[in-house]
Amino acid sequence: MRRLTLVMTHQCNFDCRYCLQKHEDVYMDEETGRKALDLLQKEILAESASDKDVDKNVQVSFYGGEPLLAREKIERLVAYANEMIREVPGGTIRYEITTNGLLLDREFIDFAKRNKILLALSHDGEAQDLVRIDRGGMATRARVDEKLKLLLRSFPETIVMMTLHPDHVNTLSDSLSSFHELGVKSVNLVPAHGERVSWTQEKFDVLKAELEKAKEMYIAWNQGENAFRLIPFENKIRNYIRQKDADNAMCHFSCNKTMVDVDGRYYPCSHFIGREGYCTGSVEEGKDTSAIEDLEARRVEPGICRDCAIRFRCRHTCACANHGHTGDMSSISALQCEYEKLVIRLADEAAMELIREENPVFVKRMYKE
Ligand code: SF4
Ligand code: SF4
């Protein structure tokens, strides 16, 4: 899969307490988006001229700030990208947008459905009004809950993306319960990082207790025909079943991912946008292969991980997570290491229980999807 992410704007209508973005009022112009798509098409066609097995599957993501602030441009770029892929024999395209939800409406959801756009909703559940307020300082929970219900009617598999703020991580299990009651079937969890949050041992212990509860919920909600995907657990379980390196499976840093900033400059992943020393090309000049090689060479496995028995199941070489926690792509924070160990243990315990019960829906999902 070739991944192209277009940063539509740095602006946002939210003011989340952990957000590290600057929210400048800058937007990608359509011409920049079209050039990025043209370059991608050119790259696929050039490669397929000499290699018939070349990957022609494309995923285009629209990113922000809040991407739906540039909704009309997204609609036009999707139409353009649909045309672009028609000129690639055997090519496929899919789209992805993660939104805070406030600007979602019936019309956009229908547009997403027609164009096979996967919409993910960022929502912090019970902590939403404590950490995800709007630009006017107003609470957002009730409004976003309504958008979530609307979204679930068209996309029952909508993924909710939760960011865990250390000060409110005690709400995690209650949040999962309220999502489950609303009919949500997939939740992803990411601990907030960066200079605006602080994880102490005490807060990590609360996270641990909440994830223990989450494991029990996960087992309970995957009985019989029921399915509830807690994505961090499922990634670890599949990663074990397939014996695939967790980073290769999930981190697409630079090698097969291009992130295009509003000004047309390329970066290896969202965390590095605008950072000095991480630009990997532009829509004007294409990919800078020597910059990409240089970045890849700078990303090495953290020393403490080299002899670790679970290193293949751990995202210890994820450049973005490492840089976010430690300021260095190749260093792992104690928190991240503990978090990975915890999630792997809990995922294994849950999987053992569900496999011991010979839960057919779970087994099929893990082995076949
Ligand atoms: S919705 Fe996203 S981009 Fe906007 S303030 Fe929150 S974390 Fe930042
Ligand atoms: S669990 Fe810790 S030591 Fe082991 S690979 Fe992951 S980060 Fe490294």
At the fourth CATH level, which superfamily is domain 2-368? Aldolase class I (3.20.20.70)
Task: Return the minimum-mean-pLDDT range out of 1-10, 330-339, 342-351.
Answer: 330-339
- Cβ of 314 below 6 Å from ligand 2: yes
The predicted model gives 57-80 an average pLDDT of 97
The number of the ligand 2 atom at minimal distance from the alpha carbon of 340 is 1
Q: What is the pLDDT of residue 159?
A: 98
Residue 255 confidence (pLDDT): 59
Q: Which residues pair with 226 in a beta bridge?
A: none
Closest residue CA from atom 7 of ligand 1 = 19
pLDDT tens-digit map of 129-173: 999 999 999 999 999 999 999 999 999 999 999 999 999 999 999
Q: Where are the domains of the chain?
A: 2-368
pLDDT the model gives residue 252: 56
* Cβ proximity of 71 and 27 under 8 Å: no
Which of 306, 332, 338 to mutate to test ligand 2, by most ligand atoms within 8 A of the CB atom?
332
Rounded to whole angstroms, the Cα distance separating 181 from 195 reads: 34
Q: How far is CA 279 from the centre of its chain?
A: 21
Where does the pLDDT of residue 243 fall: very low under 50, low under 70, confident under 90, or very high at 90 and above?
A: confident
Segment 80-87 shows an average pLDDT of: 97
Which residues' Cβ are closer than 6 Å to ligand 1? Answer: 12, 14-16, 19, 21, 64-66, 100, 122
pLDDT band at 348 (very low <50, low <70, confident <90, very high): very high
Tokens read off for 96: 């992805």
Q: Is residue 344 lining ligand 2, measured as CB closer than 6 Å? A: no
> pTM here?
0.93
Inform me whether the pLDDT recorded for 248 exceeds 70: no
- Mean pLDDT for 307-328 is 87
Q: Exposed, middle or buried: residue 157 (CB in 10 Å: 0-12, 13-18, 19+)?
A: exposed
Query: What average pLDDT does the segment 14-19 reach?
Result: 97
DSSP 99-156: E-STT--HHHHHHHHHTTEEEEEE--GGGHHHH--BTTS---HHHHHHHHHHHHHH-T
Q: Is the pLDDT of residue 282 over 60?
A: yes
From 240, 314, 343, 344, the mutation candidate for ligand 2 (largest count of ligand atoms within 8 A of CB) is 314
d(CA 165, CA 126): 11
**Does 227 contact ligand 2 (Cβ within 6 A)?**
no
